[in-house]
Structure 1
Amino acid sequence: MTVPRNAVRRSKRTLTAAVLALAVAAGTGGWAAGTAQTAVTGPAPGAAAWRADHSLGVALPDPASASPAEVARFFAGLTGAQQQALAARHPLTVGNLDGAPVALRYEANSRALRAERDRALARATDPAGTLQDHQQARRAAARYAALLAPGRRILAFDPRGRGQVAEVHGDLAAARRTAVIVPGSDIDLATFDRATDPYGTPTGMAASLRRRMAAEAPGVPTAVIAWVGYTTPVGLGPDAATGRLAEAGAPRLARFLAGLAATGTPAPAVLCHSYGSVVCGLAAPHTGRGDLTDLIVFGSPGMRRDTAADLRTPARVWAARDTSDWIGDVPNVEVLGLGHGADPTDPAFGARRVPAQRAKGHTGYLAPGTDSLRAIAAIVLGHPETVR
């Protein structure tokens, strides 16, 4: 009996989906290993008060609909005193408003962090709270206090959900070479930096990359931005295996990059780790020519694109994976919403290869002493021809 060709195709798709589901379940102890997250979208809290503010006699740019270029033009038409007044009245809006002056965003976010810290300290002693409430509030207050430490430059801060934050390492105003790091699962305000597995955190990655660039080109001003501007998956459950959170995060990343361009920041290289590469893959077609120079993915489960050309970006596309990274065991398929598609390190994908033989595991790509760190630093510094 001859089996119809379409029946064979359906059987292959079903088998592939089953293999994918079993691989994820086996690797994580089941779907319960990850909890479903609610994606944070839209403007930061306070947008309604911002829209209702007519103190300048003109409508303020809508945080939900004004482009970063429009925001930049609006602030360029204000006096310093007017800018300061807006930051004082609307710190969360100004601090997260892509296209607003960078230094003003730093100041606004300092105000917002102090306000959140004070609220957390009040909750920590509220007689109506439980012991657990008090403990959680004290941890939150300590986290906010850490971000307020002298020398830290917080470019974005949103307390909603698990918290989102972006921090600049270096002087963004003076930088000639820049990079943006987009992390993967389990990263939020609480895990933005940590003592354990430091090079698996955005802060550790950014600090390591910047040190390497300083060693390679000590006379070149550089800045690296650790960006946690989307809701990341927790664990390796359904959120990590689907594109739902990446679809919510991609427009936020595209807007952030447009905001950097609107304020005159040199186009960065964008580094995308693990699930962050899914976000980058979906954001890439929505970025402008001056928004980024290079797109570098490492430890990637796929980008939800079949080839580098499908990203529709003028940026150079790079990919790295070391042989000890468990992500290599994840099937590179996308079936029925599960999986993220082609392996970016496969030659057929068309990305340039970043060496990663000295990297260790899933989070070691930017650890000191690795060939991947050296190569990525060269790319960010504008020397892609040296990467072999």
Structure 2
Amino acid sequence: MRRYARTLVAVALATTVVAGTAGWASGNAQHALTGPPPGTAAWRSDHVLGRELPDPARDTPAQVALFFRGLSEKDRRTLAVRHPLVVGNLDGAPLELRYLANALALKADPDPRYASLAADPQRQILAFDPRGRGQVAEVFGDLSTAHRVSVVVPGSDIDAGTFDRTNDVYGTPVGMAKSLYAQTGRDSAVIAWAGYTTPVGVGVDAATGSLAEAGADRLTRFTDGLAADGVPAPVVFCHSYGSVVCGLAASRLRATDLVVLGSPGMRADDVGDLHTGARVWAAKDPDDWIDDVPNVEFAGLGHGEDPASAAFGARRVPAEDAHGHTGYFAPGTESLRAFAAIADGTFAVDGPYAVASYAEGGPR
């Protein structure tokens, strides 16, 4: 009875925090973008190669990769030119072909939200879906030759329009990924992945798991696509609500490590509840406002135990000199140094904490 009473108090407090912060505004409610890429219907009906094309909704990334391996370079390019939005978002399609397809799709899209993405033809855009608020993924480094790969999964308020905003840089996928890439070894690559519908503000969507469930499916397929292209299993960095996505994906996710930062919870009671073989790490700095959100999960509200708590059982990442909710990847911080060591596979562990221990050659 006492435990039940504490739960009710925590739920009431969680409701107060969320409502007091941003309100339960229905106008901010988001609908998860799911299903195959835009243009799939035209793709399915196209017989330009005289054969059936893989079904983006039904075929696995491994099946997609096998199909493209049987094509000539000319036929691959024909498909990218005719169906850039499908090829650019087709997990398992060749990496360079996806970069080409997304460059073509961005060049043809008049929406000013995507102007910065389209302006530089050297950007390696691995996914671009203009539907809704827009989704995008970008690669830093050479993904085809990298021995160590990381994926950054962001939290609330991130979409194609805020993907690389210039304010609050280290709270954006591009800012986090670029900062990590600058600190890691020369054979690394980092992917900024904004490939799911994120909550807007701190309202109902942020307090529940429906958007995270859809995001977990998309993240799982994305990492399956990397594997189909011969990319090493990545270290996945999950910020804020992104850690809810990672928690729900954990048991299916191809990853060597899961690193959560500023997490409201992973929809799990402890590391064992994630059912993953990946190493699990957690960081939370002393003045992160996420610490004011009660760690409960009751009647669909809240995301459970704090991954940075001793009870959860994750390895701790030092973050005492990071500031606020978006300061973990700021240059010079202990948390960034530890993240880079985890990404490079050169970390050591001192008690429960990660310690940066760079391999010969050091960071960039």
How many residues get paired? 351
In structure 2, stretches of 5+ residues that fail to align are: 356-364
SS at match of 1:31: coil
Residue number among 20, 27, 45 corresponding to 2:38 in the alignment:
45
CA contact (8 A) 1:269 1:296 kept: yes
Greater gyration radius: 1
1:351 and 2:319 aligned:
no
Residues in 1 aligned to 2:285 and 2:252: alpha-carbon distance in whole angstroms: 29
What TM-score do the two structures reach when normalised by structure 2?
0.93
1:193 and 2:158 aligned:
no
1:57 and 2:57 aligned:
no
CA contact (8 A) 2:93 2:229 kept: yes
Which residue does 1:133 correspond to in 2? none
Shift of the 240–212 alpha-carbon distance from structure 1 to 2, 3 Å rule, reads same
Residues in 1 aligned to 2:93 and 2:289: alpha-carbon distance in whole angstroms: 40
Following TM superposition, by how much is the alpha carbon of 1:237 offset from its aligned partner in structure 2, in angstroms? Answer: 0.6
Which residue does 1:236 correspond to in 2? 202
SS at match of 2:198: coil
Residue number among 65, 68, 79 corresponding to 2:72 in the alignment:
79
Residues in 2 aligned to 1:110 and 1:180: alpha-carbon distance in whole angstroms: 21
> Deviations for 1:8-38, whole angstroms, at most 9, x for unmatched residues?
6654443332121012222x14223971011
Residues in 2 aligned to 1:335 and 1:295: alpha-carbon distance in whole angstroms: 25
Residue number among 264, 275, 279 corresponding to 1:312 in the alignment:
275
Which residue does 2:175 correspond to in 1? 204
**Which structure 2 residues correspond to residues 161-310 of structure 1 after superposition, within 5 A?**
161-213=132-184, 217=185, 220-287=186-253, 291-310=254-273
What TM-score do the two structures reach when normalised by structure 1?
0.88
CA contact (8 A) 2:170 2:176 kept: yes
Residues in 1 aligned to 2:336 and 2:252: alpha-carbon distance in whole angstroms: 27
SS at match of 1:180: strand
**Which structure 2 residues correspond to residues 145-160 of structure 1 after superposition, within 5 A?**
145-160=116-131
Which residue does 1:93 correspond to in 2? 86
1:30 and 2:23 aligned:
yes
Which residue does 1:326 correspond to in 2? 289
Over 6 Å off, 4+ runs: none
Residues in 2 aligned to 1:151 and 1:61: alpha-carbon distance in whole angstroms: 28
Residues in 1 aligned to 2:303 and 2:324: alpha-carbon distance in whole angstroms: 20
Residues in 2 aligned to 1:306 and 1:265: alpha-carbon distance in whole angstroms: 31
Following TM superposition, by how much is the alpha carbon of 1:58 offset from its aligned partner in structure 2, in angstroms? Answer: 2.2
Shift of the 348–11 alpha-carbon distance from structure 1 to 2, 3 Å rule, reads closer
Residues in 1 aligned to 2:311 and 2:332: alpha-carbon distance in whole angstroms: 29
CA contact (8 A) 2:7 2:296 kept: no
CA contact (8 A) 1:169 1:223 kept: yes
Which residue does 2:362 correspond to in 1? none
- Aligned residue identity for 2:150: A
SS at match of 1:161: coil
Following TM superposition, by how much is the alpha carbon of 1:44 offset from its aligned partner in structure 2, in angstroms? Answer: 1.6
In structure 1, stretches of 5+ residues that fail to align are: 121-138
- Identity across the alignment (%): 62
Which residue does 2:12 correspond to in 1? 18
Residues in 2 aligned to 1:33 and 1:63: alpha-carbon distance in whole angstroms: 32
CA contact (8 A) 2:265 2:306 kept: yes
1:68 and 2:61 aligned:
yes
- Aligned residue identity for 2:166: A
Residue number among 88, 95, 101 corresponding to 1:102 in the alignment:
95
Following TM superposition, by how much is the alpha carbon of 1:43 offset from its aligned partner in structure 2, in angstroms? Answer: 1.2
